[in-house]
Amino acid sequence: MNKTDASSYADMNIQSPEHASSSKDSLPPLSRNSLSHLCDSGRISPAAWSQALDFCGFRPDGRAWLTYWRQVFLLGGVLFFLAGIICFIAWNWDDMQPFARMTLVGVIVAGAGIGAVAVGPDSRPGQALLLACGVAMGPLLAVFGQTYQTGAELWELFRVWTVLLVALAIAGKQAGLWFAAWLSGNVFAALWLGRNLTSPFDAFSHFFAIPEWLVAIACAILLWEWAAQRAGQKDAQSWLRSRWLPRLLFLDLAARTACYLIAGIFESYNWTDAWQLWLPHQIVPYFAVAMAGFAWWWYRKKEPDLFMLATLLGAGTAVLLAVLAEAGLFFDLGVVTAFLFWGLFVTGLTAGLAKILLHLQKAMSTEEGKKASRIIQLPSFLGRARPGVSWQMLWENLQAYGEALRDDPIADAKEPYSPWYIKLLLALGGWLAAVLFMCFLGLLLFETLNISSHEELTIFIVSVPVLLLGRTMLAGNTLFSRHFGFALAIAGTSGIAIALFLSLNSVMLACFVLAAALAVISVFMRNVAYTFLSAIGIVGCVAQGISYFIYTSARGGFADSARLDIALLLPRVWWILLCLGLVYFCLQEKRWRGSMRGQTADAWFFGAYTGMLMIQIWSLGLSYGLGGLLDLPLWGSGGMGLGAAAGVTVLIFFLTRKQSLTARVAGMASVPLLFVLGWYLPGAALALLGLVMARQMGNVVMQGAVLVYFFAYMIFYYYNLAVPFSAKSTYLVVSGLVLLLLALVLRVWQTKSSIEEAGRA
């Protein structure tokens, strides 16, 4: 419950408490994760952490839940409805008259455009309708060209589509339309370049190697940043201050340039024989240096952005490794020694990269803390429910209720707070080093020492000291020590896993033993990243072990026995218990906050849910044509949807206890539908569980990842669904209309609740 509303501080010039001003200079951006890190490091109490979540809106109340699900249903309804219309057109295409084809697609475009104008293009529904209008213009142009045989080539269609999207983006003032225009422009440029090829789609391989397009991406980023800076100075055009689009463009630019240079370094791409347009390919290295220098200056001084700097450093590190590998660094020492020294080198390079990034993060946070804060209204249903909350306002609120920021963290808080992209970049370096160390150990044992008997025992004996050394290094105080220890821990664990599968005759037993070993080792290692990977491994091992148990029960002639009944019941029990455990963590998170064990608990939670997503994707692939790659289907995934439905049911029960009677009745009335969904679409129920938990915890990254998984799952499901297009169209349209109807009901409910609250006030 909020003790003080955030909006009451919006027009106040609040100063930070004096006793902690020096500590706040280096605070990270205000987010739910940064608050959790402050609590886990001992700088704020669990009570202050809970109060801060309510004050900032990271923990949703009843109104925030209505807004959240209304936006999710609106987005899903629009996408499902459009997909159903596309399937309907595909089903009736041959039987429809040309005018009917044009009319049907034209109605979609006109209806979305008129609807956007009617509700207001600046509103969220208006933005969604305007984006749908722009996307639907592409099929309209294709229908027009195919129906009336205009003779236009495919690249001409994308050229006109790009121009129309740019016009809509200028009028609509939203980043989503600019992104759609950028994608369409990419396809147009590739098809135009390959217009003389046998197949226009062959142009995409050549399009990757065009220096002109690298320059085009750089110019697009430069124009966006210039416009965003002007908008920031005038406190206008807040949509230009959105960072996701320029970050995607810069990531694309850095990845293309790095891959281009690496291909040239290894001579897998011959610049002299390559397809050349206007600029010579030899200009790319000079362009890369100039781009890197300007980007470093801009994103370090003019528009500080740690994501851009991390991307730049990551791309530069990849190019540096390619240069040294081509130069034959350590190769003259022999293959075995080369792998060892390359593993050490990658570990040191990763530690140095971590040192630079953490220094940049601290320096940029300090610089931002000394500037006058300017609150930018960027509401998002994935993030805060209350936009405009700053650190100053939060400290004032906490101080008013007897809470304060402590200057010194607890003793065991070694790891500073870092954004997810920095953690991912450093984890990639650790995994690469682990692979190199595993290659070194394998070659040392079986090539240099020529061990040919008791291989599993040898691997186990060697892996245990490597694992112990990794644990010792992880406890060190230097970045190199921790990254070296992480790489050794992965290598040692992989060796133990290999030894288990080689020594045990039963694969089922090996899976269960490995799951238990990972649980014990992760407690012993006391490392967040290792715990996250262990949680994923445990979920996968248990699922695979259950699958082998079912397989052996059925194959051994126990088709009518109680053993098979127990085997078939086992996965449902496992997934229900796992989902209830995740729900318990979500509801009782405060119990783990206030010490570094909170980060370990987070690793178990996110690792377990990630493992469930991976198992579901794997089982879906096996169900639709990929089963031939393996001898055994993943039967252990059965019942995952029911477990997810049970978890959502428990969440509904506890989250609606303090809400109105109408909310409780509506929530519990949806329970039967949840179990039906979990039975027929387990992946959708799993996504629903993830969305509820992520929104309750205020985790933006998890919400975005689950939404991407959900839409990918539904696309794959309907694409492989063995029913006619007519049935697919009916299912999709009905689903879209139901979701849109639910969004409308929630909108009316929200409006009615606001009126009642205003009347009581």
Whether 747 shows a pLDDT value over 60: the answer reads yes
Distance, in Å, from the CA atom of 350 to the CA atom of 513, rounded to the nearest integer, reads: 33
Q: Is residue 513 part of a domain?
A: no
- Classify residue 476 as exposed, middle or buried by CB count within 10 Å of its CB (0-12, 13-18, 19+): middle
How many structural domains are present in the chain?
Answer: 1
Nearest Cα residue to 491 out of 468, 515, 473, 467: 467
Average pLDDT over residues 608-622: 85
Structure tokens at 139: 């099929």
Is 625 a member of any domain?
Answer: yes
DSSP state of 304: -
Nearby residues of 604 by Cβ (< 8 Å), 6 or more positions away: 531, 532, 535, 585
> Any idea which residue has 């206890």 for tokens?
657
Write out 375-395 in H/E/C secondary structure: CCCCCCCCCCCCCCCCHHHHH
- Residue 270 confidence class, pLDDT cut points 50, 70, 90: low
Q: What percent of the chain has pLDDT over 70?
A: 81
Per 3-state DSSP, the chain is made up of helix, strand and coil in percentages (nearest 5) of 80, 0, 20
Nearest to 642 by CA among 574, 580, 576: 576
Domain assignment present for residue 760? The answer is no
Whether residue 403 lies inside any domain: the answer is no
Mean pLDDT of 728-757: 83
Instruction: With respect to residue 316, please indicate whether it lies within any of the assigned structural domains.
Output: no
Distances, alpha carbon 726 to alpha carbons 88, 91, 436, 529, in Å: 6, 6, 53, 48
pLDDT band at residue 246 using 50, 70 and 90 as cut-offs: very high
Q: Which of 191-195, 295-299, 385-389 has the lowest mean pLDDT?
A: 385-389
Q: What secondary structure letter does DSSP report for 640?
A: H
pLDDT tens-place string over residues 114-123: 888 887 777 7
pLDDT over 50 (residue 14): no
Q: Which domain holds residue 647?
A: 556-720
Whose tokens are 């082998």? That residue is 548
Phi and psi at residue 506, to the nearest 5°: -95, 120
pLDDT of 579 above 70? yes
- What pLDDT sits at residue 411? 47
Place of tokens 């879906």: 620
Strand ranges, E, within 128-179: none
**Mean pLDDT over each residue of the chain, to the nearest integer:** 80
Nearest to 459 by CA among 475, 442, 472: 442
In a domain, 465, yes or no: no
Has residue 326 got a pLDDT over 80?
yes
Bigger pLDDT: 391 vs 487: 487
Q: Flag whether 536 is in a domain.
A: no
The pLDDT of residue 375: 41
pLDDT of residue 5: 40
Tokens of 559: 């088709």
On whether the CB atoms of residues 607 and 673 are closer than 8 A, the answer is no
pLDDT tens, position by position, 422-446 = 878 888 888 888 889 888 888 888 8
Whether 376 is covered by a domain: the verdict is no
Structure confidence at residue 397 (pLDDT): 79
Whether 342 has a pLDDT exceeding 70, the answer reads yes
Task: Check the CA dihedral 581-1-697-644 and report its sign.
Answer: positive
| pLDDT, position 493 | 93
Secondary structure class of 28 (helix, strand, coil): coil
CB distance 241 to 228 below 8 Å: yes
**Taking Cα atoms as reference points, which of 132, 128, 193, 127 lies closest to residue 159?**
193
